[in-house]
Structure 1
Amino acid sequence: MRKSKFFKILTGVALSTLILAACNSEDAGKKADKDPSDVEVVFIPKMTGNAFFESGNDGAQEMAEKIGFNVKYDGAPEGTVANQVQIINSAVNSGADAIAISSVSSDGLNQALQKALDAGIKVVTWDSDVDPKYRSVYINQGTPDILGAMLVDMAAGQLDNPDDAQKVAWFYSSPTVPDQNSWVDYANKYMKEKYPKWEVVTTQFGEGNEQKSLQVGESILDTYQDIDVIICPDSTALPAMAQAAQNKGLNKNDVIITGFASPNSMRQYIENDTIENHGLWDVKDQGALAVYIAYHLALGNELKVGDVLDVPELGEVKVEPNTVQGYDYEAEDSGIIVLPERIVFTKENTQEFNF
């Protein structure tokens, strides 16, 4: 009797497994045959209303229009974990095929992203990453060593004697945002090695809020009146810092201000000599690449570490292992695509760019 009962249980389990496998196979086939016009990618910025993220969305929408899929731009004015969790949950509930997100936290979105993955949604990150266990590909503007060194070098290049002692301030969005903190961590190491006389006297945060960032910028100038260099690897902090300097009648000869922001948001400060330079990458290309990779995966295609993909309008990209970002986590289906170049904007070239 026991033997017969056990056989029946096994038979039932085996039958259920076969049915489930058949269903999964059928679902996979449906996804692989999905018409591009039916694919929806939800493109999520850290926050809306910011020139950097709006430019990324411009690139995303242009790519979607060229290829023929759909991109929904979905964000909130304030970049918080709670807001991004709500947006991810909304994407799950609406039946989106993929999301491409610039995360405000390295681990605060884990539960929401797992829910998305369980629902069959492909997860791509851009600009700011999450725990690599919870996404397929990170569209990375540059590794911490590339961008950290770039921040320091943009400041040093403006000094007559960069080997002399300098008082330096860091000013960016928050102590938890993963991308900016990784750049600053490397930059501080690079600074100690290359310019050991430089001293970081303060690190301040504007929380991605324009008004607060302006107030913080003015506070830095009031509190540290002998500050030499202020580095702002944040697209809200940098224009706010430049505006604070301008409000106090200061220019590039009084204090060096540099960092990362879009050229459209900084052009006036370059042209009126408040700042001499700042940097970025082509965020329109980054947005375009992020949604194309998300779309490619949503069609049922695989993308593994080491693969090379030809992306319309952008050319060939390669999926690198997570170790290029310093991560320990390695998996065949989890990797990083690094943008090929970054740009330093000056008075000589800023008019050549529109994003």
Structure 2
Amino acid sequence: MRKSKFFKVFTGLAISTMLLAACNSKDAGSSTDGEKGKKDARDIDVVFIPKMTGNAFFESGNDGAQEMAKKIGFRVKYDGAPEGTVANQVQIINSAVNSGADAIAISSVSSDGLNQALQKALDAGIKVVTWDSDVDPKYRSAYINQGTPDILGAMLVDMAAGQLENPNEPQQVAWFYSSPTVPDQNSWVDYAEKYIAEKYPNWEIVTKQFGEGNEQVSLQKGESILHTYPDIDVIICPDSTALPAMAQAAQNKGLNKEDVVITGFASPNSMRQYLENGTIENHGLWDVKDQGALAVYIAYHLAQGNELKVGGTVDVPELGEVKVEPNTVQGYDYEAEDSGIIVLPERIVFTKENTNDYDF
């Protein structure tokens, strides 16, 4: 800011005039300062909330989040619970409010169970971003989305169909994932079932099972599917706990990819052994480290006082320019200028040939 120069004068009027000019100069400088109201990166705290801790998918997301925070200079607290429940996430959100956090980035276990807690956070001035699994869009600014329901629903079906000798023939199909209420996975399955009805009308959905995001429960459910449906052809697991558990259940029973098609979404580190020993042929995901990094950066960006408008773009270090899409790309009715979705640019199908190219 330019400082006014004071010269020795001999009249009170002259002194008063120059003091007034100095004050006006200071005010003018503040009003044109482009950084006015912006918080320093070192003063910003983001709480990064997974569905549950101890899961390879969410731990990898946190790795990306911490790397981004270190690079930019803000702070990220990884705060979750071993069990993914609404009660646990409400407690974590309330803790973020009480600690004076600037923003939260959360993978929600429920599409509407967190509304009251999130409203409390918004009322406290906390910026809310979701990643991996969304909430009611009225209660967040941006959703860092791994893919829209049509993208991911079709991907799940295509990964399975590509392994069948004749996918147009009748197939017994099972869905196996975390919960009947978790918003992301249910939206993928809903679209996938429409896609199956149109493209593979001879497929029969014989069961839909849920592992509750728990490794032991998921293993038991996986074993139960194989026992109850001995002629099952395809088991699709759009869940990072259910898929490795299902593969382990098949391996325990001495089954491999020639006996039953098992595919879905999970991190490569959790599935590599099953690709290499022939239990499964493929599975999919996206780069969850990038997703975690993007989620906390957008949270930080908002906490700095920046606006995020639908149709606008944000330059993200090392990830490039991302665009804010309207909520309608996820099938929502709610539209607002300051509430939108950022879709990750790509997804990955992992096979025995490429799995060692990835480490997350």
In the superposition, the TM-score normalised over structure 1's length comes to 0.91
Asked if residue 44 in structure 1 is aligned to residue 49 in structure 2, the reply is yes
Q: Partners of 2:317 and 2:119 in 1: how far apart?
A: 30
> How big is the shift at 1:34?
1.3
Q: Partners of 2:246 and 2:301 in 1: how far apart?
A: 39
Give the SS at the match of 1:168. strand
Q: Partners of 1:120 and 1:137 in 2: how far apart?
A: 15
Asked if residue 165 in structure 1 is aligned to residue 165 in structure 2, the reply is no
- In the alignment, which residue of structure 1 is the partner of 2:101? 96
1:160-202 C-alpha deviation (Å, 9 max, x unpaired) = 1011000000000000000000000000000010000000000
Q: Partners of 2:322 and 2:125 in 1: how far apart?
A: 25
Q: What letter corresponds to residue 351 of structure 1 in structure 2?
A: N
Asked if residue 112 in structure 1 is aligned to residue 130 in structure 2, the reply is no
Q: 1:235–1:261: 8 Å Cα contact kept in structure 2? A: yes
Q: 1:145–1:187: 8 Å Cα contact kept in structure 2? A: yes
Q: 1:32–1:301: 8 Å Cα contact kept in structure 2? A: no
- In the alignment, which residue of structure 1 is the partner of 2:140? 135
Asked if residue 145 in structure 1 is aligned to residue 150 in structure 2, the reply is yes
Asked if residue 85 in structure 1 is aligned to residue 90 in structure 2, the reply is yes
Q: What letter corresponds to residue 221 of structure 1 in structure 2?
A: L
Alignment of 1:1-355 (within 5 A): 32-355=37-360
1:82-135 C-alpha deviation (Å, 9 max, x unpaired) = 000000000000000000000000000000000000000000000000000000
Larger-Rg structure: 2
Q: Partners of 2:81 and 2:159 in 1: how far apart?
A: 32
> How big is the shift at 1:137?
0.2
**Alignment gaps of 5+ in structure 2:** 1-30
Q: Partners of 1:268 and 1:129 in 2: how far apart?
A: 31
Q: How many residues align?
A: 329
Between the aligned residues of both structures, percent identity stands at 88
Runs (4+) off by over 3 Å: none
Q: Partners of 1:147 and 1:30 in 2: how far apart?
A: 40
Q: Partners of 2:47 and 2:273 in 1: how far apart?
A: 33
> How big is the shift at 1:35?
1.1
**Alignment gaps of 5+ in structure 1:** 1-25
1:262-319 C-alpha deviation (Å, 9 max, x unpaired) = 0000000000000000000000000000000000000000010001111001001000
Give the SS at the match of 1:48. coil
Give the SS at the match of 1:105. coil
Give the SS at the match of 2:314. strand
- RMSD of aligned residue pairs (Cα, Å): 1.3
Q: Partners of 1:298 and 1:162 in 2: how far apart?
A: 49
Q: 1:217–1:241: 8 Å Cα contact kept in structure 2? A: yes
Q: 1:31–1:298: 8 Å Cα contact kept in structure 2? A: no
